[in-house]
C-alpha cells in the first residue's frame, strides 16, 4: 500500500508495513513558534528517511524525540517489538545515534572513544575490529593521539567510525547531519556506507542538507510554510 499524506506543514510519501518506528501527530512548539504539528511518519526496515528543512525547523529536536531524549515534543512514537520492550523507549543496543554533539571526548584517543561507544552498547567487539573501523574512516596512525589534537573533520570521523563496525544487533542509525565537516571523499564513502546498510535491511533516519540518491530514500520535509 502506498499513499501520500499532507500534514499541514509537510508532505510525506510512505508505505506502511511492519514499521520499526512510527510517529503519530508530533507537535513541537519553541518560544511560541510552532515548529511542526500533525507530523506523522513511519520507518520500516531497509528504508532511509531523510528529514529536510531549513535551519531552525526542528530537525535535531525531532531526532532527539525519536530516540527518547527530548521531552519538548508532544505526540506518540511507537517502536516495533524488536526495538523496544515497552514500545516507548527504544533499546539502546539496537541503534546508533550520532548526535549534533558527537560524543567524542577530547582527552581520549579515537580508539578509547570508539571502545567506549561499543561498551555503552553492551557489545563485545574484538579490538582488531575497532582498529579496522578507525582505519576505514581514515584515522590510521591517529588511533593513539588524543582526539583533541585532531582536526574538526577528523573528530567527526571518530564519531562516524562506529558505523563501520557491523554490530549485528544494530538495525537502525539515527544520524544528525552526518556529513558535517567531512571532505568530499569521506562524504562519498559515508553515502555508500549508508546505502549499503539500507541494502542489508538496516534503517536510517537522518537529517542533512546534502542530497542522497538511492531508491530506499524517502524525504520528509518539515518547517516549510504553505
Partner 1 sequence: MNVVLRQMLARELTLANRRRSDLANPLFFFLIVVSLFPIGVTPDLQKLSEMAAGVLWVAALLAALLSLDLLFRHDFEDGSLEQMLLSSVPAQLLVLCKTLSHWLVTGLPLTLMSPVLSVMLALPVSAIPLLMLTLAIGTLTLSLLGGIGAALTVGLRKGGLLLTILIMPLFVPVIIFGTSAVQSFANGMPWTAQLALLGAFGAGAFAVSPWLTVAALRVTVGD
The contact set with partner 1 (CB under 8 A) reads 64, 67-72, 91-93, 97, 99-108, 112, 115-117, 119-122, 124, 146
Query: Of 25 and 100, which CB lies nearer to partner 1 in the complex structure?
Result: 100
- The least distance separating partner 1 from the CB of residue 122, rounded to whole angstroms, comes to 5
Query: Of 29 and 219, which CB lies nearer to partner 1 in the complex structure?
Result: 29
Query: Of 170 and 216, which CB lies nearer to partner 1 in the complex structure?
Result: 170
Query: Of 103 and 187, which CB lies nearer to partner 1 in the complex structure?
Result: 103
- The least distance separating partner 1 from the CB of residue 104, rounded to whole angstroms, comes to 6
Residues constituting the chain: 226
- The least distance separating partner 1 from the CB of residue 225, rounded to whole angstroms, comes to 26
- The least distance separating partner 1 from the CB of residue 10, rounded to whole angstroms, comes to 24
Query: Of 130 and 216, which CB lies nearer to partner 1 in the complex structure?
Result: 130
Residues 6 or more apart whose CB falls under 8 angstroms from that of 176 comprise 59, 60, 63, 97, 98, 99, 100, 206, 207
- The least distance separating partner 1 from the CB of residue 115, rounded to whole angstroms, comes to 7
Query: Of 162 and 218, which CB lies nearer to partner 1 in the complex structure?
Result: 162
- The least distance separating partner 1 from the CB of residue 56, rounded to whole angstroms, comes to 17
Q: From 208, 151, 138, select the one nearest 175 (Cα to Cα).
A: 208
Amino acid at each position: 500500500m502506498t499513499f501520500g499524506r499532507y500534514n499541514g506543514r509537510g508532505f510525506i510519501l510512505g508505505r506502511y508495513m511492519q514499521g520499526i518506528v512510527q510517529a503519530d501527530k508530533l507537535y513541537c512548539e519553541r518560544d511560541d513558534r510552532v515548529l511542526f504539528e500533525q507530523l506523522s511518519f513511519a520507518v520500516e526496515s531497509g528504508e532511509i528517511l531523510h528529514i529536510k528543512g531549513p535551519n531552525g525547523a526542528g530537525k535535531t529536536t525531532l531526532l532527539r524525540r525519536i530516540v527518547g531524549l527530548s521531552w519538548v515534543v508532544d505526540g506518540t512514537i511507537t517502536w516495533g517489538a524488536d526495538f523496544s520492550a515497552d514500545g516507548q523507549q527504544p533499546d539502546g543496543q539496537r541503534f546508533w545515534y550520532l548526535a549534533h554533539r558527537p560524543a567524542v571526548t577530547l582527552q581520549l584517543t579515537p580508539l578509547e572513544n570508539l571502545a567506549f561507544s561499543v561498551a555503552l552498547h553492551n557489545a563485545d567487539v574484538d579490538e582488531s575490529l575497532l582498529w579496522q573501523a578507525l582505519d576505514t574512516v581514515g584515522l590510521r596512525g591517529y588511533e593513539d593521539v588524543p582526539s583533541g589534537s585532531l582536526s574538526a573533520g577528523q573528530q567527526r570521523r571518530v564519531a562516524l567510525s562506529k558505523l563501520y563496525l557491523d554490530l549485528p544487533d544494530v538495525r537502525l542509525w539515527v544520524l544528525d547531519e552526518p556529513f558535517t565537516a567531512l571532505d568530499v571523499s569521506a562524504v562519498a564513502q559515508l553515502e555508500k556506507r549508508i546505502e549499503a546498510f539500507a541494502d542489508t535491511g538496516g534503517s536510517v533516519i537522518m537529517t542533512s542538507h546534502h542530497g542522497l540518491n538511492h531508491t530506499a530514500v524517502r524525504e520528509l520535509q518539515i518547517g516549510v510554510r504553505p
